[in-house]
Amino acid sequence: MKKINFYFVLSLLVFCSCSKKAEKIGDNDVDQNQVIPDFSWTGNQIAPAEITFTNHTKNATSHHWDFSNGTTSTLAQPSKVTFTEPGAYTVTLRATNSSNNVFTSKVVLITENDNPVASFSYTFKNKVSYAPATVQFHNESVNAKTYEWDINGRKDYVQSPLDYIFSLPGTYKAKLIAINGTQRSTVFEKDIIVESNPNPVAKFAIGMSPGGYFVGQEIYCVNQSTNSESYLWNFGVNSPAEATSEHAIAKFDKPGVHTITLTAKKNSLSSSRSINIMVKALP
C-alpha cells in the first residue's frame, strides 16, 4: 500500500440515520428498531499493527466490515486485524436489520514509528452548519499523552474539547498538536466553514481502498451533507441506478473514470457535489 501523507487525512465520522419513522416516547423521538452503528478500537498503532475492533452497534442483525487493507469481515466482533504499512485507513462498518441498512466510517491512523501524530475530525451537531453552529471535535491522534488545541484562538489542553459554538458565519481555523514527553507533532489543522444561511450543503466522502478501486468492488459513499432533508445519488451513464438513501454503496461493472454525484435537497433548494474515481479492471 502506498504511504499516505498524514497531513491530509481523510477523516470520517458519520452518525447514520434511518428511514423509518420514530415512535414518540416521553419527550424524545425514539425508533425502537433504529440501527445505531458505532465501534472503537485498541492496539499499538505502529506498523505492522494488530488492531482489535469492538462493535458497539445497537439493533443490528448483520454486519459487514471493510478495513481498507484488502480484508473484510461479516462477524459482529471481528478477529484482530493487521495493518502492515503506515497510513490512514478508512474503516467502514455496515449494519443492517429487517428495515434498516446504515453504516459509519472512522479513520484509523497507523504510524511508522512512535512519534506523536496529530489528527482530528469534526461534525456539526444535528447536521446544522449555519450560524449559530455547534461543532463537535473528535481527536484521532496517535502516540500522544497530552494535546494542545487552538480553536479560533481558544486554547485547550484536553483530549477532546467541549462543543464549540460559532455564532457568526465564516471560515475558522482549528489546530491540534499531539505531545509525548518532549516530542511534539507537526501542527494538524482544518478549516471550519460556517454557513450564513440554512440552505442545503452537499458533501460526501469515499472510503479509501489500497491499490485503488476495482470492477465489482463495493465502494462506500458516506454522506456528510448538512442542512438537508433528502438525497439523490447518481453514478453516471451505464453505472448503478440512482439511489435516494442517505448513504450509498456503488459497484461498477466496467473500468474507467466514473463520476459520483450527490444532490442534497431541502424544500425547493438543492446543492450538488461530484467526485471522480478511477475504477480498474481486475488483475
Q: List the grid coordinates of 249.
A: 454503496
Q: List the grid coordinates of 242.
A: 440512482
For residues 100 and 145, membership in a common domain is answered with yes
Task: Name the residue among 47, 43, 89 with its Cα closest to residue 66.
Answer: 89
pLDDT of residue 265: 97
pLDDT of residue 229: 95
Q: What is the pLDDT averaged over residues 205-220?
A: 82
Last-in-domain residue among 194, 229, 249: 194
For residues 181 and 216, membership in a common domain is answered with no
Fill in the DSSP letter of residue 226.
B
Per the structure, the count of domains in the chain is: 2
Task: pLDDT band for 39, please (50, 70, 90 cuts).
Answer: very high
For residues 139 and 258, membership in a common domain is answered with no
For residues 133 and 96, membership in a common domain is answered with yes
The pLDDT tens digits of the residues spanning 53-111 come to 999 999 999 999 989 888 889 999 998 999 999 988 889 998 988 887 788 888 899 99
Q: pLDDT exceeding 90 applies to what percent of the chain?
A: 67
Q: List the grid coordinates of 6.
A: 498524514
Handedness of CA 205, 210, 213, 214 (dihedral sign): negative
CA distance 171 to 152: 10
pTM over 0.85: no
| Residue 16 included in any domain | no
pLDDT at 9 over 60: no
Residue 251's CATH number = 2.60.40.10
